[in-house]
């Protein structure tokens, strides 16, 4: 085996940077050894083990993590922390290696190429890094603003519009001796650090503070709003995601989305509708705005939520649509304040009303009895 990579410890055994994504770390390790990524992986893992035909940040096999821990002298716990599975039990209850996982942006891998815009980045972070790398939290659907620089993240190359594929920067270029930088677009070679620095202002300071609090503390395992503390943070994140989908629903967007957007000073919002809304597949701007709307709705809990629901006539059926197991703190408010069950009069009340109408010489049919008792229609 070449380049001294046959030993148990690689010649260059760089450790992952804080919050670094597994795929980013692997690319840096390959380039540190002066090798293209595919060549490096073939040497150290074998040609039969193709790891780039899947989302390795979301699904990394145990043998890969153990190999990396051994070859770089890094603890297995730290290696596992570079994967998206580390968010299990924090942002969601169960990690789905295959299919969609709540809050994890999909890459849409086809022939080892990302077709979906699931990898975000902050151009200022990349520019300020001594050695540029991609952060794990840039794969989170609600993480749309850089917590350090307060600019909107990008989810594609601003020059050619293609998805980010930093693992393919030298793919297909046989004449390339030295690997390209991880900050270059694989398709047009544009330097992602030159991308625009955009800011979306939210006029509601409480929502802005709550959002930045979530960005800062999303990994601690518990969460809080201004008046509620959650021992398990996924109980809050689960409701926020459900509200994001509900707000973007084409059946209610005409009233709920502009209602909240106006109060946040976000102007006219438009969402590209599909029959089924998958929040993680929306573009970065749509996700940013929807998450702020959902946050605003949960502040001053539960009175703002109740007031808005009553003003816009949001039914419990709409608020709980496609929500299989809502947490108690959310469900209890809907059941107590927003579930409008029609009271059914007793047989005695109906008979009394009927006798009254008869004694007055009036018709005593169902319509007349219903009117007398104050109901639109009684069931026969």
Beta bridge partners of 299: none
pLDDT at 175 over 60: no
With bands split at pLDDT 50, 70 and 90, how would you rate the model's confidence at 111?
low
Residue-level pLDDT at 1: 46
Contact yes or no for 126/132 (Cβ under 8 A): yes
Q: Give percent above pLDDT 90 in the chain.
A: 61
Is the preceding peptide bond at 21 cis, omega within 30 degrees of 0?
Answer: no
Residues 6+ apart with CB under 8 A from 255: 312
State the pTM of this model: 0.85
pLDDT at 380 over 50: no
Distances (CA, A) of 229 to 2, 224, 225: 55, 4, 7
Lowest mean pLDDT among 142-151, 167-176, 306-315: 167-176
Lowest mean pLDDT among 3-7, 79-83, 166-170, 215-219: 3-7
What are phi and psi for residue 178, nearest 5 degrees? -90, 130
Helices (H), the chain: 22-32, 37-45, 62-72, 76-80, 123-128, 205-217, 234-247, 256-264, 284-298, 303-311, 316-319, 328-333, 347-359, 366-373
With bands split at pLDDT 50, 70 and 90, how would you rate the model's confidence at 108?
confident
Distances (CA, A) of 298 to 187, 243, 252, 256: 42, 9, 18, 14
With bands split at pLDDT 50, 70 and 90, how would you rate the model's confidence at 359?
confident
pLDDT at 260 over 70: yes
| Selected residue with higher pLDDT from 327 and 365 | 327
Residue-level pLDDT at 26: 96
Q: CA-CA distance, 279 to 91, in Å (whole number)?
A: 14
Q: Among 98-112, 290-304, 310-324, 350-364, which range has the highest average pLDDT?
A: 290-304
pLDDT digits (tens, 9 = 90+) for 36-74: 888 899 999 988 888 888 899 999 999 999 999 999 999
């Amino acid at each position: 085996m070449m380049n001294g990579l046959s030993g148990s410890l690689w010649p260059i055994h760089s450790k992952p940077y804080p919050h670094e994504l597994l795929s980013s770390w692997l690319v840096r390790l390959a380039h540190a050894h002066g090798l293209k990524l595919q060549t490096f992986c073939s040497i150290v893992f074998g040609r039969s083990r193709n790891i780039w035909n899947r989302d390795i940040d979301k699904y990394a096999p145990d043998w890969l993590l153990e190999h990396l821990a051994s070859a770089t002298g890094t603890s297995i716990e730290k290696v596992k922390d570079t994967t998206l599975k580390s968010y299990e039990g924090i942002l969601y209850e169960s990690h789905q290696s295959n299919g969609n996982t709540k809050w994890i942006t999909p890459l849409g891998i086809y022939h080892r190429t990302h077709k979906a815009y699931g990898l975000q980045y902050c151009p200022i972070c990349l520019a300020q890094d001594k050695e540029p790398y991609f952060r794990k939290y840039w794969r989170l659907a609600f993480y749309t603003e850089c917590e350090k620089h307060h600019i909107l993240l990008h989810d594609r190359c601003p020059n050619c519009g293609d998805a980010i594929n930093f693992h393919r920067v030298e793919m297909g270029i046989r004449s390339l001796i030295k690997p390209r930088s991880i900050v270059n677009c694989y398709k047009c070679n544009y330097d992602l650090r030159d991308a625009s620095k955009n800011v979306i202002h939210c006029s509601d300071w409480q929502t802005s503070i709550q959002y930045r609090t979530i960005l800062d503390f999303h990994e601690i395992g518990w969460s809080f709003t201004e008046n509620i503390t959650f021992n398990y943070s996924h109980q809050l994140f689960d409701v926020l995601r459900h509200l994001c989908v509900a707000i973007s629903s084409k059946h209610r967007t005409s009233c709920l989305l502009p209602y909240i957007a106006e109060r946040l000073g976000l102007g006219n919002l438009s969402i590209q509708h599909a029959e089924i809304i998958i929040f993680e597949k929306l573009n970065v701007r749509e996700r940013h705005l929807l998450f702020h709307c959902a946050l605003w709705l949960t502040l001053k809990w539960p009175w703002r939520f109740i007031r808005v629901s009553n003003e816009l006539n949001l039914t419990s059926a709409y608020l709980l649509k496609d929500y299989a197991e809502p947490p108690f703190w959310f469900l209890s408010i809907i059941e107590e304040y927003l579930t409008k069950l029609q009271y059914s009069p007793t047989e005695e009340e109906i008979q009394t009303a009927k006798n009254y109408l008869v004694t007055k010489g009036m018709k005593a049919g169902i319509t007349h009895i219903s009117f007398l008792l104050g109901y639109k229609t009684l069931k026969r």
